[in-house]
A and B are shown apart, each in its own frame.
Chain A
Amino acid sequence: MADILFSRPHFIAFIILFLLGMYIMVVCLNLVKKLIGMYIMQTSIILFFITLAVKADSTIPIIMPSVSALTPEAYANPLPHVLMLTAIVVGVSTLGVSLAMVLALYRQYNTLEEDQILGKVK
């Protein structure tokens, strides 16, 4: 198992980033820090998908009309790219909404720490 993993550096990086992001999201009490964790977690999933699209010795998926005999093996898989474009945009939208919530919370409680907000609520 170990040698399979070491032949996949992307996957190890993905696992590290994913778990790191999720850990920060759950454990950190600072709201903005949580969002930094969220960003890292979302981008790690993009890393996972993009490595699915890689083909050895391939080029970018733009086909010039001059190409006569087209071999799909020569181009990277475009589908995961498309899916991840969507995921990036979804990520930034979620980020925008969550920052709006953070700002609204800050206006009311004047702090970014979750435990202090909880203390002020009660």
Chain B
Amino acid sequence: MIRPHDSVIVHTLARVFTPIIQLFALYVLIHGHDSPGGGFQAGTLFAASFLLPIIAFGIQGSLAALEKRAIILGGVGILLYAGIGLLPLLLGGEFLNYGKLPIPGMETAALRHWGILGVEIGVTITVAATAVSIYYSLRERGEGQ
């Protein structure tokens, strides 16, 4: 049985750490091109920043609204990824060929650079949302016992 913790220390730390983790996750995502990191790591960190208040304060308020929508958000992330892939296919290129994305005024390498960022964002959304969704699924009904 998982109950929200009523210690002041836990609550304060959770409040302080949540934005810091999110900031770090954003850094990891955007700097995936130059340093270790990328979509998966950033997504997991984002998931951690959502799970921390959920564990500390329990599921209430805006977090409860997330509960059933999380998996949809996961679908949206993967649709972003696959959509970036599908666009070149429909334009006569290959699936996931970012070099053929229809953005004018950019050379292939730059297009690929931005394509990578786009799919990493998709991965981040999916990983974060799905991790939260799995957590919700795992603790579901356990509370009623």
Contact = CB atoms under 8 A, between A and B. Distances in A.
Contacts of B35: 62
17 contacts: A60-B36, A62-B34, A62-B35, A62-B36, A85-B40, A89-B40, A89-B127, A96-B134, A96-B138, A99-B138, A100-B134, A100-B137, A100-B138, A103-B138, A103-B142, A107-B141, A107-B145
Q: Which of B134, B137, B145 has the most CB of A within 10 A?
A: B134
B54 to A, nearest CB: 16
A12 to B, nearest CB: 28
Query: Which bucket holds chain B's interface residue count?
Result: 10 to 19
Nearest to B145: A107
Contacts, number: 17
Q: Which of A60, A96, A107 has the most CB of B within 10 A?
A: A96
Interface string A72-90: 0000000000000100010
Interface string B123-145: 00001000000100110011001
Contacts of A60: 36
Interface of B: 34-36, 40, 127, 134, 137-138, 141-142, 145
Nearest to B41: A85
Interface in A77-122: 85, 89, 96, 99-100, 103, 107
A113 to B, nearest CB: 19
A63 to B, nearest CB: 10
Contacts of B141: 107
Contacts of B127: 89
A103 B139 CA distance: 9
Ranked nearest first, the 4 interchain pairs of A and B with the lowest CB-CB distance are A96-B134, A89-B40, A103-B138, A100-B137
A85 B137 CA distance: 25
B122 to A, nearest CB: 14
